[in-house]
A and B are shown apart, each in its own frame.
Chain A
Amino acid sequence: MQSAKDLKEYRAELRESLDNEFLRKTLDTFAVAYRAGRANAFKGIDVKTLIAEIAQSKDEAAARMDELFEEFKKKAEAVGVTVHLAKDGDEANRIIGEIAQKSGCKKIVKSKSMTAEETLLNHHLEDIGLEVTETDLGEWIIQLRHEGPTHMVMPAIHLSRYQVADLFGDVTGKKQESDIEKLVKVARRELRRKYAEADMGISGANFCVAETGTIGIVTNEGNARLVTTLPRVHVALAGLDKLTPTLHDALRVIKALPKNATGQAITSYVTWITGANECKAAPDGKKEMHVVFLDNGRRALAKDPIFKEVLRCVRCGACANVCPVYRLVGGHKMGHIYIGAIGLILTYFFHGRDKARNLVQNCINCGACEDICAGGIHLPRLIKEIHARIQDEEGHPLKSVLLGKVLANRKLFHRLLKAARWAQAPVKEKNGYLRHLPMVFSKEQDFRALPAIADKAFRDLWPHLKPEVANPKHTVALFSGCVQDFVYPDQLAAAMRSFEGRDVAVDFPMDQSCCGLPAQMMGETKAARDVARQNIRAFEEGGAQYVLCSCASCASQLKHAYPKLLEGDKVWEPRARAFAEKVIDYSSFMHDVLKVEPKQFQDKGRKVTYHAPCHLCRGLGVKEAPRELMRTAGLDYQPCNEEEVCCGFGGTFSMKFPELSAQLLSKKLADAEATGAEELLTDCPGCIMQLRGGVEAAGLSIKVRHIAEAVAEQRKK
């Protein structure tokens, strides 16, 4: 659970996790195995369509939440179930406690329920003198250890078999071996007794089907079957978001959920319960059954135009499985009760700003979660929104306000950059890096060298570089982004060289500014909106066919964030959409538009490998173009391990969480070096800054370059 008071304390907690080698290793192995398992499970299935269908049906259910509740209540009550509605966690806990007391229950067995974790139900039941036993193996283990879950689907993934053996030794009073199969049997045996003794069973519900008043429970262990069968009272606790109109909606989710969670086609058990079933332990031979629905902000959420999509979540845990930050620090640090990407969002709504404030900053915005989400939730965007919302509520920190102000005023921003060029002179080395980091950077930033600002910005070189093209076939306006403009102007020059002789007219609108992503990442939405308008205006004037952007982060900001930022604005939304249409990345332009061919390049066969920038491979969905471009250009491209995993840059993220950034970077460089390539190519100057800085600081030999530089050099002269 998240308890840090401020970012400093939170960072100290993160460092603890980083030092936990077992955790790191487990999560690493898991992340790699998970990706393969999932891909295999979805083989032959049109995942995109399935996810889109789930999203649509969940959206419709959320819009009809109250109505579905009434329908479910009517149907379930007709077959002997009592249906309750709790406005918040406390009320849900109180209702359940009272059910137990009224029916004289003392011992409770529980099968896994995230909703019960959300309300901290066990604490309440224990406080009023009831004995509660979790029966899901992982949940039982963490209950015995008095911990919260570290993963939604695998709550005890952070523990080793030795820790479990010690724990079971305490529980049974006998020494235990660390053999996993034996430990599982010990649990089976110990828990069997608990089922036999219990008079109340509590379960969650993955689905509450309104048309029949049925609850559906998805498990592998089968404990839900015993929990809902043996005790004479059964209480199911479910969030209102579990209401679904028809059985079909539930079956559809089942097609995706287990595959996304663990790579299984389906779980061992899917249990459907309608009404008060036979129960031989009850005096009248019939189960006393209750369904308690929890609101806790869900009804308000369903009406929120931006955040309603979080109700699509089916709790598969996939967004944690692929999150590079979760992989480093685990769920106790990457969430409060709900973990991973969705946890960062839900914590704010279910557990409050205090718990969410630090967490929400710990997202590197790599998009891996959104790419895999079973509900098609735009997770990173919503995480940024929460960050912005918290700042709006609490007041923006000075740093962030200043950044917003500076970025929103292009002339001031560019003046400051030019001034910085002079200021850095004393610490600038010949090799282009800063010798000592300026005072504003802390010691922890040492894991990578930082580049100096270039002597001449691209905008100052432009008048000399501007090509004369007599009969242009394509017209292109370059969007440089701050880094290429002021730090790496060579990359843009190289891109232009690679167009030479192909009838491409190039323009560079001088009024363009920062893309606005840093402002948005810091929660400065207004500033991000201001620069968006400014850039759109600057590019509209020339009327080029393409806005070419050889920075992946900028490109995805221009293409996806601008229309969102200006949504609902009658004048600007259409302009933003038209602008976004024209945005294209360097590799796609070369490969898809210019359709370059091998005969135009030398065939030297230099060995290169590739880092796929998050904002290119997921943000823009460009996967094949850069790889084919490298091959076409005659380079000997050697794919590297985990090519699409984030390099750890994440803009301001690497400043805020240097320890995490450093870890991601060293993993990335190790994977690249392992290919034996001379050069590591990529197509985002942000990634280059990170990777090159890392190579320089670690003294490695591999050379980091923009793909445009390598391609330009390969051209036949």
Chain B
Amino acid sequence: MSERIELFKEKAKLVSALVSEVASMGEAFEYAMDLCEKKEACQLLMSGCGEAVSDPAKDLCDAKQRKVVAAPNLSEEDFAKLQALCAAKDFDCIREGMRKHLAGIDIGVTVCQGGIAETGSLMLESSDEEVRLATMVAEYHVAVLPKSAIQATSYDLESELAKRLGNGPSYTALITGASRTADIERVLALGVHGPLELHILLLEG
């Protein structure tokens, strides 16, 4: 098991994911708070607000004035905890209404259902539209992955994945690293449509 976790870490880092270990959900939330706080004050700078975009594209920016943390798939209880932490820092904390935030949010926090060590991938149940959007419009995606959910290879995850897909409607994602492109001169650029950074928090147990 510990070998599998080491391999997962190694492979996730290869695709520029940032991997840490946390002992509890509380620790994970603190990590997210910290990240949000340190993040540039001028929101969404990295998504292109600072660039010379067209006027209509600019309008989208005006929709956002405060830092936003979205956490659509937490339990009621966990969400309440996160919300309290956000309130103390004066961040907005939301679990729905992602469509109102298409200009971007700062941090998307999710709990993942599976991992693949061989490639450092996450499996994220995304049938809830809010989950899909939160992980795409966020500049940073903070994904909590229970260590016990990490399988060695994609084949080991297969029966679980097949079960999900076979009981549709279902929308499931395998996510490996941040959104990326190499379409201009083959130079790697992160965050083309989705998150600029992927932080994976490996949760004990």
Contact = CB atoms under 8 A, between A and B. Distances in A.
B14 to A, nearest CB: 7
A248 interface: yes
A186 B181 contact: no
A536 interface: no
A670 interface: no
A280 B129 contact: yes
A87 interface: no
B171 A251 contact: no
Contacts of B133: 229-230
Contacts of A277: 127, 129, 169-171
Contacts of B161: 247, 272
Contact of A79 (B51, B55, B169): B169
* Interface size range on A against B: 35 or more
Given A183-B184, A212-B168, A270-B173, A172 B179 contact: no
A190 B174 contact: no
Contact of B54 (A164, A173, A280): A173
B183 interface: yes
A361 to B, nearest CB: 30
A257 to B, nearest CB: 12
A222 B179 contact: yes
Contacts of A26: 185-186
Interface in A129-150: 135-138, 141
B165 A247 contact: yes
A190 B173 contact: no
B115 interface: no
Contacts, number: 223
Interface residues of B, number: 63
Contact of A184 (B120, B158, B175, B184): B184
B176 interface: yes
Contacts of A246: 162
Interface stretch (B18-26, B31-39, B87-95, B188-196): B188-196
A196 B183 CA distance: 23
B193 A223 contact: yes
B205 interface: no
A259 B173 CA distance: 19
Contacts of A267: 176
B52 interface: yes
A474 interface: no
4 interchain residue pairs of minimum CB distance? A274-B168, A275-B169, A185-B48, A275-B168
Interface of B: 11, 14-15, 46-49, 51-57, 60, 99, 102-104, 118-121, 126-129, 132-133, 136, 154-155, 158, 161-162, 164-166, 168-187, 189, 191-194
Interface of A: 26, 29-30, 33, 79-80, 135-138, 141, 154-157, 159-161, 164, 171-176, 180-193, 195-196, 209, 211-214, 220-223, 225-226, 228-230, 246-248, 251, 254-255, 262, 264-281, 286
